[in-house]
């Protein structure tokens, strides 16, 4: 599955947000069979109104959303790259995630101490990014030193790694995160394999005061500007509000949201923004037993998409019977789509599209 790491300075609202996320997930556990929650790891359902529509049309007994993992990575402080605080363990945790949700304190509250004694989310973002850059630099130096012997042996893979590490090092020494390095298509795989911290896409989470979650404030406006300049994403939420919502029943929550001037929980926006940031898409399998959503990367072929369900589906792939979401809905389901000639048989080279309703045929 796909993993987002929640990072941020102490006291910015990380745990509040994480608790809201996982409590919501726990509430959904009844129809959510894969919801395993560890103290700092939570799986959450990706909200998708299309899935409910498909299930209604097909009278599916069960609705199973696709999911995303959030990891609460506490302990990032100034000096983390020097092994202060949780230091290395913390950095190892970040290495494993696909993207970073960086929580920034955008709320004023004299009762909640700020580690730097002032509310300045742009400076905070900079503090954390600097730590990640220093950590990258240190690991690059170590890795390049380890490559020296292989380079003398004319090892092609080592040469490629060293060249990419050198490019990252040059950017970092110039004060830029490694994500600013432009990488050719043929290097993309090796580049990703380096697992540099500052190549991970970042989603800034502006944690604003309770009465500002619909509008944002001056702090979140500055974060929005910074995020746009970096090519990163941002969302505005109030972690406290989300925590309250996560404790309410569905109809109570809806009333509460409309009172706050919100159309949907901020968590839904956060999860979807993460999904977009990771360039993920959803396809569906729909039948009388269950309607289910599955996550793939953009550009995934039909056999690879089948492999998300089961490895055997990918190995024995024959073809995918495909109905576009809009056709499925407009024609009242699979039978109608079939009769209208909107069910296509797609082969191995088909690139799955977001919203496709698929049925795989495979050899066992």
265 is a contact residue toward ligand GDP (CB under 6 A): no
Closest CB to ligand GDP among 91 and 337?
Answer: 91
Q: Determine which residue in the list 16, 40, 180, 230 makes contact with ligand GDP, applying CB under 6 A.
A: 16
Q: Determine which residue in the list 2, 15, 147, 190 makes contact with ligand GDP, applying CB under 6 A.
A: 15
Closest CA to 25 of 63, 70, 55: 70
Closest CB to ligand GDP among 93 and 207?
Answer: 207
**Is 363 within any annotated ligand binding site?**
no
**Is 15 within any annotated ligand binding site?**
yes
10 is a contact residue toward ligand GDP (CB under 6 A): yes
361 CB neighbour count, 10 Å cutoff = 13
* Binding segment (CB under 6 A) for ligand GDP, from list 7-15, 60-68, 271-279, 319-327: 7-15
Closest CB to ligand GDP among 11 and 62?
Answer: 11
* Structure tokens belonging to residue 269: 């926006």
Q: Determine which residue in the list 112, 148, 228, 361 makes contact with ligand GDP, applying CB under 6 A.
A: 112
Minimal distance, residue 91 CB to ligand GDP, in Å: 18
Q: Determine which residue in the list 207, 220, 246, 282 makes contact with ligand GDP, applying CB under 6 A.
A: 207
What does the DSSP assignment read for 283-329? Answer: EEEE-SSEEEEEEEETT-BHHHHHHHH-HHHHHTEEEEEEE-HHHHH
22 is a contact residue toward ligand GDP (CB under 6 A): no
Three-state secondary structure call for residue 272 = helix
**Is 12 within any annotated ligand binding site?**
yes
Closest CB to ligand GDP among 74 and 134?
Answer: 74
Residue 84 vs residues 80, 87, 88, 129, 250: alpha-carbon distances, Å: 5, 5, 8, 16, 43
**Is 14 within any annotated ligand binding site?**
yes
178 CB neighbour count, 10 Å cutoff = 26
100 is a contact residue toward ligand GDP (CB under 6 A): no
Please give the sequence-ordered ranges of beta strands (E in DSSP) within the chain, or none if there are none. Answer: 3-7, 41-45, 62-64, 67-72, 99-105, 202-207, 233-237, 280-286, 290-297, 317-323, 344-346, 357-362
Residue 76 vs residues 1, 150, 270: alpha-carbon distances, Å: 24, 35, 21
Q: Determine which residue in the list 109, 141, 264, 339 makes contact with ligand GDP, applying CB under 6 A.
A: 109
211 is a contact residue toward ligand GDP (CB under 6 A): no
**Contact call for residues 269 and 235 (beta carbons, < 8 A):** yes
Closest CB to ligand GDP among 107 and 275?
Answer: 107
Minimal distance, residue 139 CB to ligand GDP, in Å: 25
| Close Cβ partners of 144 (under 8 Å, ≥ 6 residues apart) | 162, 165, 166, 169
96 is a contact residue toward ligand GDP (CB under 6 A): no
Question: Cα separation of 151 and 153, whole Å?
Answer: 5
**Contact call for residues 283 and 320 (beta carbons, < 8 A):** no
Closest CA to 90 of 104, 71, 76, 70: 76
First to last CA, the chain: 25
* Binding segment (CB under 6 A) for ligand GDP, from list 43-51, 104-112, 160-168, 249-257: 104-112
**352 secondary structure, DSSP code:** P
* Binding segment (CB under 6 A) for ligand GDP, from list 6-14, 78-86, 226-234, 282-290: 6-14
Closest CB to ligand GDP among 11 and 159?
Answer: 11
Q: How many residues bind ligand GDP (CB under 6 A)?
A: 16
Provide the mask over 212-251, with x wherever binding to ligand GDP is found by CB under 6 A and - wherever it is not: --------------------------xxx-----------
62 is a contact residue toward ligand GDP (CB under 6 A): no
* Structure tokens belonging to residue 285: 């399998």
Minimal distance, residue 217 CB to ligand GDP, in Å: 11
The answer for 195, left when phi > 0, alpha when psi is -120 to 50, beta otherwise, is left
Question: Cα separation of 31 and 301, whole Å?
Answer: 29
Binding residues for ATP: 11-16
Residues near ligand GDP (CB under 6 A): 8, 10-16, 107, 109, 112, 207, 209, 238-240
């Amino acid at each position: 599955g796909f993993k987002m790491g929640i990072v941020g300075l102490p006291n910015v609202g990380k745990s509040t947000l994480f608790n809201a996320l996982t409590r919501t997930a726990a509430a959904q556990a009844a129809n959510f069979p894969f919801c395993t929650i560890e103290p700092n790891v939570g799986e959450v359902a990706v909200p998708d109104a299309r899935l409910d529509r498909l299930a209604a049309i097909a009278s599916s007994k069960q609705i199973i959303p696709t999911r995303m993992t959030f990891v609460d990575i506490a302990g990032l402080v100034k000096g983390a790259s020097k092994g202060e605080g949780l230091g290395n363990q913390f950095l190892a945790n970040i290495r494993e995630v696909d993207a970073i949700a960086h929580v920034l304190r955008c709320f004023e509250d004299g009762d909640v101490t700020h580690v730097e004694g002032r509310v300045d989310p742009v400076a905070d973002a900079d503090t954390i990014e600097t730590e990640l850059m220093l950590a990258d630099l240190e690991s690059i130096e170590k890795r390049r030193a380890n490559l020296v012997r292989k380079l003398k042996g004319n090892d092609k893979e080592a040469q490629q790694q060293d060249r990419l590490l050198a490019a990252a090092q040059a950017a970092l020494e110039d004060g830029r995160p490694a994500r600013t390095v432009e990488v050719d298509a043929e290097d993309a795989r090796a580049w990703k394999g380096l697992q540099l911290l500052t190549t991970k896409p970042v989603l800034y989470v502006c944690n604003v005061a309770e009465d500002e979650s619909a509008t944002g404030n001056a702090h979140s406006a500055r974060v929005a500007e910074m995020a746009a300049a970096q090519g990163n994403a941002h969302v505005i939420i109030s972690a406290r509000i989300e925590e309250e919502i996560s404790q309410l029943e569905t109809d109570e929550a809806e009333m509460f949201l409309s009172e706050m001037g919100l159309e949907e929980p901020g968590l839904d926006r956060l999860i979807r923004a993460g999904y977009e940031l990771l360039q993920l898409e959803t396809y569906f399998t729909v039948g009388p037993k269950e309607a289910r959503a599955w996550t793939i990367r953009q550009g995934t072929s039909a056999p690879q998409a089948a492999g998300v369900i089961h490895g055997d589906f990918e190995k024995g792939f024959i073809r995918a019977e495909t109905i576009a979401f809009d056709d499925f809905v407009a024609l009242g389901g699979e039978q109608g789509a079939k009769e209208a000639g909107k069910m296509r048989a797609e082969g191995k080279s088909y690139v799955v599209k977001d919203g496709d309703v698929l049925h795989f045929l495979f050899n066992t």
